[in-house]
């Protein structure tokens, strides 16, 4: 595991019962040899005292934005510049909302806004608050802004509810921290990723599409960039913002997606097809809105190009990775796709009543190659994307050094 020794880490603590775990997080970071500056919100101080965290970190806790004595020493911009990493644990729904809207209403939010260090948030809240669409929208915004979200875990909550919203354990947060910013596994590699659905026009106002939100593909793009790759993200229509530091090419149809991929096919080292490409498009796309003149209509559909297969069969092919969403016989079907399309790897997710990744923050992925099969487990799309990129990186290097 890469070392945290001598790393300067700002631990942000917001209001929530999980704040008691922050003390252990600080203690463990100190055990790793990191320097820790704790920044607390007012609500956090209702759950744990600054004195405890000062004793554990060996530094006075900072909690006030406009504190004249502190600002003359280490002011909020200095804290933002000092940090190699920023971890907010627990991150409450309120703090997540403030960060997603770019507010600088207290010291912690201001430091997060001012820093160029990687930020990790470990959300903790009631399961209903976590599931609420406002929170999910804010999380999607933060992910698209390049912030890493770890957890929350599911289980029994302090309020008696059962569901997602428990803060990850300090040891799990530290393991994410050691991966972020310490990972150079794809340094120098150029990676092209497709994401989101495609939109196959029927007329100027209607189209055939699917439920893909693009979250998995965007998380893979962010993880590849964090691993040092030069990333191009070719995305169908989604509600997500283009991640920073990534070359972004928006497209609509499968034909347009193929044309965008073909621009990179000779130069990219790794291709990852995460997009849920429509398999069929209307034979004709009308130039005027189709009017409802009769009780039924028959659409004639034709196949779209298989972008992934085209890449895999290209003479100068990149290391090629596909995705498969399957409702039946997930593993055998994915194996068939691996073989028929000529892929190096395929990540398969079973779609059923216990796992419907479309639009969700979580997924369960199994990775299949010609020689092995690895269960990446059920986790947030951010964590799965990091695990996937780490597997791709070592297999890609093995292939090239062979």
Indicate the residue among 91 and 234 with the shorter CB distance to ligand CTP: 234
DSSP 287: S
Using DSSP, state whether 337 is helix, strand or coil. Answer: helix
Using DSSP, state whether 285 is helix, strand or coil. Answer: coil
Residues 6 or more apart whose Cβ sits within 8 Å of residue 156: 162
Closest to 4 in 3D by CA, of 182, 228, 187: 182
Residues 221, 248 contacting (CB under 8 angstroms) = no
Residues 142, 149 contacting (CB under 8 angstroms) = yes
Which residue among 51, 159, 162, 301 is the active-site one? Answer: 159
Q: Least distance from C-beta 258 to ligand CTP, angstroms?
A: 8
Q: Least distance from C-beta 318 to ligand CTP, angstroms?
A: 14
Indicate the residue among 73 and 359 with the shorter CB distance to ligand CTP: 359
Q: How far apart (Å, rounded) are the C-alpha atoms in residues 197 and 111?
A: 36
> Structure tokens of 350?
């079973």
Q: How far apart (Å, rounded) are the C-alpha atoms in residues 178 and 344?
A: 28
Q: Least distance from C-beta 205 to ligand CTP, angstroms?
A: 24
Q: Least distance from C-beta 97 to ligand CTP, angstroms?
A: 33
Indicate the residue among 24 and 255 with the shorter CB distance to ligand CTP: 255
Q: How far apart (Å, rounded) are the C-alpha atoms in residues 303 and 273?
A: 18
Q: Least distance from C-beta 276 to ligand CTP, angstroms?
A: 6
Buried b (16+ CB within 10 A) or exposed e, 273-285: bbbbbbeebbeee
Question: Residue 160: exposed, middle, or buried by beta-carbon count in 10 A (0-12, 13-18, 19+)?
Answer: exposed
Indicate the residue among 45 and 310 with the shorter CB distance to ligand CTP: 310
Indicate the residue among 114 and 351 with the shorter CB distance to ligand CTP: 351
**159 is known as an active-site residue:** yes
Residues 321, 223 contacting (CB under 8 angstroms) = no
Q: Least distance from C-beta 309 to ligand CTP, angstroms?
A: 7
Indicate the residue among 11 and 277 with the shorter CB distance to ligand CTP: 277
Q: Contact residues for ligand CTP (CB under 6 A)?
A: 194, 254, 273, 275, 277, 279, 304, 306-308, 322-325, 337
Q: Which residues are catalytic?
A: 159
């Amino acid at each position: 595991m890469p070392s945290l020794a001598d790393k300067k880490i700002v631990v942000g603590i917001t209001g929530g019962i999980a704040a008691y775990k922050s003390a252990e997080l600080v203690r463990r970071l100190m055990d790793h040899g990191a320097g820790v500056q704790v920044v607390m919100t007012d609500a956090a101080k209702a759950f744990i005292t600054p004195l405890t965290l000062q004793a554990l970190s060996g530094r006075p806790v900072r909690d006030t934005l406009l504190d004249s004595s502190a600002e003359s020493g280490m002011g909020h911009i200095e804290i933002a510049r000092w940090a190699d990493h920023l971890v907010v644990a627990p991150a409450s729904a309120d703090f997540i909302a403030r960060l997603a809207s770019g507010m600088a209403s207290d010291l912690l939010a201001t430091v997060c806004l001012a820093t160029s260090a990687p930020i990790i948030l470990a959300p903790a809240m009631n399961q209903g608050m976590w599931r609420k669409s406002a929170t999910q929208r804010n999380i999607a915004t933060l992910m698209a802004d390049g912030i890493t979200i770890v957890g929350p875990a599911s289980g029994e909550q302090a309020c008696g509810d059962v569901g997602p919203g428990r803060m990850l354990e300090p040891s799990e947060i530290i393991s994410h921290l050691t991966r972020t910013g310490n990972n150079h596994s794809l340094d120098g590699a150029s990676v092209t990723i497709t994401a989101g659905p495609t939109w196959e026009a029927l007329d100027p106002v209607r189209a055939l599409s699917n439920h893909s939100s693009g979250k998995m593909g965007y998380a893979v793009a962010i993880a590849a960039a964090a691993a040092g790759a030069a990333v191009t993200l070719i995305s169908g229509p989604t509600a997500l913002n283009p991640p920073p530091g990534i070359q972004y090419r928006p497209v609509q149809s499968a034909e347009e997606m193929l044309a965008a991929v073909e621009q990179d096919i000779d130069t990219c080292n790794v291709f990852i097809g995460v997009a849920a490409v429509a398999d069929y498009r209307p034979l004709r796309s009308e130039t005027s809105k189709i009017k409802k003149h009769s009780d039924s209509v028959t659409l004639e559909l034709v196949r779209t190009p298989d972008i992934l297969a085209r890449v895999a069969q290209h003479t100068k092919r990149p290391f090629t990775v596909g995705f498969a969403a399957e409702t039946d016989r997930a593993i055998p079907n994915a194996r068939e796709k691996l073989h028929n399309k000529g892929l190096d790897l395929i990540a398969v997710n079973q779609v059923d009543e216990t796992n419907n990744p479309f639009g969700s923050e979580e997924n369960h992925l199994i990775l299949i190659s010609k020689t092995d099969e690895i269960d990446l487990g059920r986790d947030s799309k951010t964590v799965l994307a990091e695990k996937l990129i780490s597997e791709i990186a070592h297999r890609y290097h093995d292939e090239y050094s062979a």
